[in-house]
Structure formats: structure tokens, C-alpha cells
Structure 1
Amino acid sequence: MAARTDKAWRLEKVVSGGQTGVDRAALDVALELSISCGGWCPKGRRAEDGAIPEKYLLHESPTSNYAERTALNVKDSDGTLILSRGPLRGGTALTKTFAERYGRPCLVIDLRIATVQEVTNWLMAKSIRVLNVAGPRESSQPGIARSAAAFLRVVFGNTSPTRKRGTAAKGPRPRVGLV
């Protein structure tokens, strides 16, 4: 995929698997900022806290296997943004493996040291219009949903079609090193 830097580029859709933590944070922020969202979730809308709420317009994969929905979200997006704190583990590491396998751009961000500009530059350079967002579930990194949401509000606020580039998004600004 050739890099584009024209000013007409905008993030059009956010997808995720609907799990607690980073997945839901991405969907919640997209809904809050009126960015189209969706993705694949396991059959039965399975997540660690029970059924994924219907407000998230996700397609159910043919099976209840988390890996299957992860692969589908990677395949159906232009690139994957992984948000975490520390080394990737479990399904989050598998997401990166699928991105490599399918030749999709993938950016791994440690929220403890991340900058919004790094993500914005990557999104624009890779012309990512449909973004898969992935990361740990809430039980494995308590507080990750709140940290991811604060970070994504600023990223999406700078790249969404509903907001002029450079205007502030609602919500607190992420503080580097304190998330």
C-alpha cells in the first residue's frame, strides 16, 4: 500500500473484536465521536464479561473462537493499532502475528510512553481508513480501557471526518508515563 500524505485523508471506520479493555474502548470512542465502527466478534457475542452488548454493531464469526475473529478483523482492515502496557501476550500477541501473516501494517504502542503524533503520522503515512484496534482485555491489565479511551479520543479527534484536523477532542489528554 503506497503512502499518502494528502489532506483529504481521513479515518473512516474503527473495527475491533468487542472484548473488554482496549477493544471496547476503541468502539466506545468511535461511537462518541460519530465515527463508523464495527468488526467481528466470536459467535454468541462471547467476551470475558458475558455477551457483548448489542450497541456494538459487530458481525458474529462462524465459531466462538477468539482467534478466528481476530484474524477476520485484521484481514478486513487497512491496518492494526495495538495498544498495551508492556510486552504483548496472548491474543494481543496473536493479533500482531496475524497482521504480519496477512501483510497488513501494524503499529504497537505502549501507552506508558506513547505519543498521539506517532499514531497520527502512521495512520496518514499508511492511508489507513479502516483501522483495527486491539489490545489486552481489562482483566489482564486493569485500567487499560480508561487509558486507551483517553489516548484514542485525541487520536480519533485529530483524524475523524466529523472534526477538523487539529481541533481538540473531548475528554482528558493522555499523560505520558502516567497511564
Structure 2
Amino acid sequence: MRNSLLSVPLVRIVSGGQTGADRGGLEAAIALGIEHGGWCPRGRRAEDGRIPDRYRLRETESADYAQRTERNVLDSDGTVLFTRGAPTGGSALTAALARRHAKPLLHVDLASTDERTAACALRAWLADRGIATLNVAGSRESGCPGISDAVRRIVTAAVAAP
């Protein structure tokens, strides 16, 4: 069911629950009052320990990050990938999986884009692609301090009605 407080067709946000961009997306969903979920590694594994239970994530059979990354790409209508600079590591894998599965991908490089511009670009992309389930992925907090809060602000601004 579409939330009347939203300006785009988005009804669900998924992520893998890692620190950084993933959690920023989940926090935006919670703040917006929309459904959230996704796949996380067995044991709810993240770089800071166990992913908090407040995030409604399902565990994959494997503790490997790659399995949950692919599941979230497949279970969404499109992926927004937040980084500062070129995607590396898990972010590069996310981009490759989106391309392999012919899923829409928007890369937001926060090293070259301010938050307002990023929110406007995300809003337009969501509307243009008719994204109902959005996978939010990107850099970890340890490698990109402050990205969780930035992603929360950007996604909230992009999705909330003006």
C-alpha cells in the first residue's frame, strides 16, 4: 500500500544491514514509516558485531556477505549505491550484480555530489523507474565516516513529499 506522505512510488526499502549506507537506508525507512527489510548474513554479521534486531532482516544460509548482497539486488526493483569515490569491495560487487541481473542502478558519489543534488537525483530516478522496492547499499561507516547519516538524510529528502 502506497504511503500518502511519499512523493514517489516507493513502498519498501531493503538493505544488508551493514554499518554505513545500509543502515542509513534502514533508518530512513523507519523515519518515513515505510516497510523495511532485506537479507543479512547468517548470524546477523556486520563489522560492528551483530546487526540490531530492530532492523527487520532475514538471515541467509551463509555468513558470506556476497550471498545477502545478491539476494537484496534480486529482491528489489533497483539499487541506489552510495559511496565517496569509485565503488570498491562490496560496493563494487553490488554494482556488478545489478548489471549482471539487469537491475536499475543509481550510483551516488558523495565525493562529487552534495546531499541536496543527490536527493533530487534519487527522487527523479525513483519516479522515472517506478521503483517500489529499493535496495540501499554502499560504503561501510568505517571506510566512509558519516555516510550513514548522509544516506538517511538523502533518502528521507528524496522520498518524503515536498
TM-score (norm 2): 0.90
Percentage of identical aligned residues: 46
Contact 1:111 1:148 in 2 (8 A): no
Q: Which has the higher Rg, Structure 1 or Structure 2?
A: 1
Cα deviations by residue, 1:55-79 (Å, 9 ceiling, x for unpaired): 0010100100000000000000000
Residue 143 of structure 1, aligned match among 142, 146, 152: 146
Q: Indicate whether 1:154 and 2:157 are aligned.
A: yes
Name the SS for the 2:131 alignment partner.
coil
Moved >2 Å (runs of 4+):
none
Cα RMSD, aligned residues only: 1.3
Name the residue aligned to 2:63: 64
1:9 shift after superposition: 5.4
CA distance in 2, matches of 1:50, 1:40: 16
Q: Larger relative contact order (C-alpha < 8 A, sep ≥ 6)?
A: 2
Name the SS for the 2:144 alignment partner.
coil
Task: Count how many residue pairs are aligned between Structure 1 and Structure 2.
Answer: 152
CA distance in 2, matches of 1:148, 1:132: 12
CA distance in 2, matches of 1:152, 1:78: 16
Uncovered stretches (5+) of structure 2, i.e. residues with no partner: 1-6
1:54 shift after superposition: 0.5
Residue 131 of structure 1, aligned match among 126, 130, 134: 134
Contact 2:14 2:72 in 1 (8 A): yes
Uncovered stretches (5+) of structure 1, i.e. residues with no partner: 1-7, 158-164, 167-179
